[in-house]
Structure formats: C-alpha cells, structure tokens
C-alpha cells in the first residue's frame, strides 16, 4: 500500500462480504476505545439512516464534523443578509436549506412571511431568468456550498457578466473543507484516531489537496463513498490503517475520486473566485478557508456594494450547534435537542439542514 491510494480496487460486495467486514472491524477495535470522525454531512446522514453505528463495536466512537455548508454558515452572515435585504429592498435567491436557518433577526422564511421576496431555486442558473424578468428590481444570489457546488455557481457568475445583467449581485458564503479539517486537528479538542474523508468534495479537489497537509499529522484519512457497503468497507480500511500505524491519505472511492480531482471544475472556479478568510459557525474565522469574487467580478460582490451603518451583533442562544460541528458533543447532549429544537421548530442550523447532524440524530437515532 502507498500513502496516496489503495491499489486493490473494491468490487461489488454482497451480504456475506459485508458480514465479514463487520466481524473484522469488531476484531480490530477489540483492544481499546477508538475515535473516528466523518467530515461530510452526507456521510453523517447515511451512517444514521442505515443504522451503521448500531452494528459497529461499542469501542468505536463515530463523531460528526463540520461537513454541512448550511450548518457552518455564521449567524453574522445570516443577519447581514436579512438586514441588507430589508434596508435596500432586495430580492433574495437561494437554495432551500438556508431559508430556515435562524439568525438573531429571524430567518429568510420570516423575511418572506413579512412580505419580502425570497426565491428558492434548484439550480443557480435560474437566477438569470428571474433577474431578466424583473429588470427594475435588484436581487442577491446567495452562493453557498463546499467545493462540490462551487463550479456551477462560478459558471453562473460568468453568465451574469456575459449576458450583461445589471440587477443580480452575488453573496459568497462558500467554504473550503481542507482548512477546516486542519483547524479541527490543530485545535486538539478531541483526539481522533482516523478520519472518514468526504467523497463528493474529493471528487472535485482530488486526493492531492488533502495530502498537502494530512501528512503533518500521525493519522490515516480514508476517502469513502456513500453506499452502506462503501462506508463499511471504508471503515474497515481505516481501522486497518490505524492498527498498522499507516498514516496519510487513502482512497476507497475509486469510481469517483482521482489524485488530481476534476481539473476542469477547478479551472472554472479559479477563474471566478480567489481564496479568502472565512467565518465558520463554531470554529470562528479560519484563514484561507473561503472564496470571494476576483477583482474582475467584484462589481457583483454584495458586501462591496450594500453597506451597513453598524456592524452586525449576534445574540447568543442556548443552541450548541457549534460544539456539535466540532465533534465536542453529540446532538442529544444539547439541552434544546428534541425538547424545543426539532425539524418543525429548529433553533439552530444543525437541525435545519438535510445534512445537519442534529437532524440526522432526530430522524434516525433518537432512541
């Protein structure tokens, strides 16, 4: 084995192979307690939905990380978005999950209930049509997501300029995952024996982006797919690496992830965005962990155009979403969980998003 990728590729496995892998995981984790973290919110939900925690040994603790782009959006950014939409009478165009994320001043849902225009789209390219149909009204396109969704939004920004649309502006809330993973490891709040690497993000950025810094830590990082068989196989490989003290980046998501990633998608993103510092819920400002529009596109940048008289001040609540995102606590350790915080009455983004850890625990692991 090399520290770049596992050379033997996984073929389709059946029930007997899965049973064998689970037995092996139990044997590998029989000597002490182990702690691993899945970074990706999709992994969190699939692990919960398929009951994978329940079939793993009690000595293997699976923690969830900040792998939900909606969840890690800072409360300050939600408040800023609501404030400028009201102050400048702007229409808001965004994806679905963030509409219900509460800030200090409510959420975009409350904004819509008060009569403001909030449009939910499935594709960012729909924003072009909305802006063209309403030429006398200004709109904000909220760009949210990790590296997986950025290429499509970068293409949309290019089209705004190419088509000469003057009433559509961009609010970048994009986050980059490797700096956040590095920040978690550097913080040392929890001792991790291994990491389940995100499959979708790695499809875009490749193995190489993780390899740039994971080698500085004595920890194995295994990129996995999302089918239950992918996850079981990946955890088996991760436990092998932990036991054998093999550190570095390993790939088990062979059908999607390559060493260099999706070079074309990376090129589109680099043409539109440049790396910047970014504020993460629960983690604070992480250097070089976000994306902002390049100079050529800065005339679309919401923050450069729509100014506020006073800085945003966020009110504290009892929500412990930040600690959940860092893996410090499990959702049920938050005093609001299930009692007052539920999907129909969310108090924090971890319960709102379809990738949120609290939502996963509420839906699949309450008992």
* pLDDT of 175: 97
Binned at pLDDT 50, 70 and 90, residue 318 comes out as confident
Q: What tens digit of pLDDT does each residue of 295-312 get? A: 999 999 999 999 888 877
* Burial of residue 352, with CB atoms counted within 10 A of its CB: 0-12 exposed, 13-18 middle, 19 or more buried: buried
Residue 257 covered by a domain: no
Q: How far apart are CA 201 and CA 207, in angstroms?
A: 10
Residue 258 covered by a domain: no
Residue 19 covered by a domain: no
Q: What tens digit of pLDDT does each residue of 49-100 get? A: 999 999 999 999 999 999 999 999 999 999 999 999 999 999 999 998 899 8
Q: Are 346 and 362 in contact (CB under 8 A)?
A: no
* Burial of residue 101, with CB atoms counted within 10 A of its CB: 0-12 exposed, 13-18 middle, 19 or more buried: buried
Q: What crossing angle do the helices spanning 150-162 and 126-133 adopt, rounded to 10°?
A: 30
Residue 335 covered by a domain: no
85: domain CATH number is: 3.40.50.11740
Q: What tens digit of pLDDT does each residue of 88-97 get? A: 999 999 998 8
Residue 163 covered by a domain: yes
Say if residue 367's pLDDT is above 60: no
Residue 292 covered by a domain: yes
Q: What tens digit of pLDDT does each residue of 231-281 get? A: 999 999 999 999 999 999 999 999 999 999 999 999 999 999 999 999 999
> Residue 129 sits in which domain range?
75-176+263-305
* pTM, rounded to two decimals: 0.91
* pLDDT of 316: 77
Q: What tens digit of pLDDT does each residue of 271-293 get? A: 999 999 999 999 999 999 999 99
Residue 119 covered by a domain: yes
Q: Please name which of 361, 72, 355, 358 lies closest in space to residue 200, comparing C-alpha atoms.
A: 355
CA distances from 70 to 34, 66, 210, 298 (A): 29, 10, 22, 24
CA distances from 148 to 9, 85, 181, 202, 352 (A): 24, 27, 16, 8, 20
Q: How far apart are CA 37 and CA 201, in angstroms?
A: 16
How many separate domains does the chain show?
1
Higher pLDDT, 177 or 346: 177
Q: What tens digit of pLDDT does each residue of 97-120 get? A: 899 888 887 889 989 998 999 999
CA atoms within 13 A on the CB side of 87: 12
Residues 6+ apart with CB under 8 A from 355: 40, 41, 42, 44, 45, 67, 68, 69, 70, 71, 97
Sign for the pseudo-dihedral over CA of 102, 322, 59, 57: positive
- Roughly how many angstroms between the first and final C-alpha of the chain, as a whole number? 40
Sign for the pseudo-dihedral over CA of 120, 122, 127, 129: negative
């Amino acid at each position: 084995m090399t520290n770049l990728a596992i050379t033997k590729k996984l073929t389709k496995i059946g029930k007997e192979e899965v049973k064998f892998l689970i037995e092996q995981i139990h044997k590998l984790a029989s000597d002490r307690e182990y702690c691993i973290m899945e970074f990706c919110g999709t992994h969190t939900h699939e692990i919960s939905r398929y009951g994978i925690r329940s079939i793993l040994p009690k000595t293997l603790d699976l923690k969830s990380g900040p792998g939900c782009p909606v969840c890690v959006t800072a409360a300050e950014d939600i408040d800023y978005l609501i404030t400028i939409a009201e102050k400048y009478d702007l229409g808001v165009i965004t994806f679905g999950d963030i509409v219900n994320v509460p800030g200090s001043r409510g959420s975009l849902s409350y904004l819509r209930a008060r009569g403001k225009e909030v449009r939910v789209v499935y594709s960012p390219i729909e924003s072009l049509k909305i802006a063209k149909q309403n030429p006398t009204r200004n709109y904000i396109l909220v760009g949210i997501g990790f590296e997986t969704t950025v290429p499509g939004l970068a293409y949309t920004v290019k089209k705004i300029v190419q088509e000469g649309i003057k009433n559509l502006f961009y609010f970048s809330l994009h986050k980059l995952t490797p700096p956040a993973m590095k920040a978690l490891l550097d913080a040392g709040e929890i001792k991790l024996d291994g990491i389940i690497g995100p499959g979708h993000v790695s499809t875009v950025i490749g193995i190489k982006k993780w390899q740039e810094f994971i080698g500085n830590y004595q920890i194995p990082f295994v990129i996995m797919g999302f089918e239950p068989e992918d996850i079981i196989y990946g955890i088996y490989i991760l436990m092998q690496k932990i036991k054998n003290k093999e550190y570095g980046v390993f790939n088990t998501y062979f059908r999607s992830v390559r060493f260099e990633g999706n070079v074309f998608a990376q090129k589109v993103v680099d043409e539109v965005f440049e790396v910047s510092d970014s504020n993460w819920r629960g983690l604070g400002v992480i250097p070089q962990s976000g994306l902002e529009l390049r100079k050529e596109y800065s005339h679309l940048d919401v923050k450069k155009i729509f100014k506020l008289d006073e800085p945003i001040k966020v009110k504290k609540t009892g929500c412990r979403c930040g600690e959940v995102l860092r893996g410090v606590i499990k959702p049920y350790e938050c005093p609001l969980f299930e009692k007052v915080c539920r999907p129909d009455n969310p108090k924090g983004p971890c319960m709102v998003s379809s990738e949120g850890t609290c939502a996963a625990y509420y839906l699949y692991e309450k008992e």
